[in-house]
Amino acid sequence: MALIITDECINCDVCEPECPNEAISPGDEIYVIDPNKCTECVGHFDEPQCQLVCPVDCIPLDPAHRESEAQLMDKYRKLTGN
């Protein structure tokens, strides 16, 4: 699954630079995650870096974008050319 940022986001700016796929960007009111770029850090790290640094725990799995580990790895390979 891709991740999603919920309304609890306080716009603290710590998640955006942690994303290795540049999937996080400022939205109209809160940060947003592009599900086409989010691999949950598969291929880069053992766990999603944005979740690790988020001080309010507002980055859960996005139920609208269910993906297996293999699908996330395929997406990682397409995004990075590896």
CA atoms within 13 A on the CB side of 44: 19
Q: Decide: 5 and 33 in contact? Cβ < 8 Å.
A: yes
pLDDT per residue as tens digits for the range 14-47: 999 999 999 999 999 999 999 999 999 999 999 9
Sheet strands (E) in the chain: 24-26, 31-33
pTM of the model: 0.93
Region 35-60 average pLDDT: 97
CATH, range 16-80? 3.30.70.20
What is the three-state SS of 68-81? CHHHHHHHHHHHHC
Write down the domain spans for the chain.
16-80
Handedness of CA 44, 14, 55, 61 (dihedral sign): negative
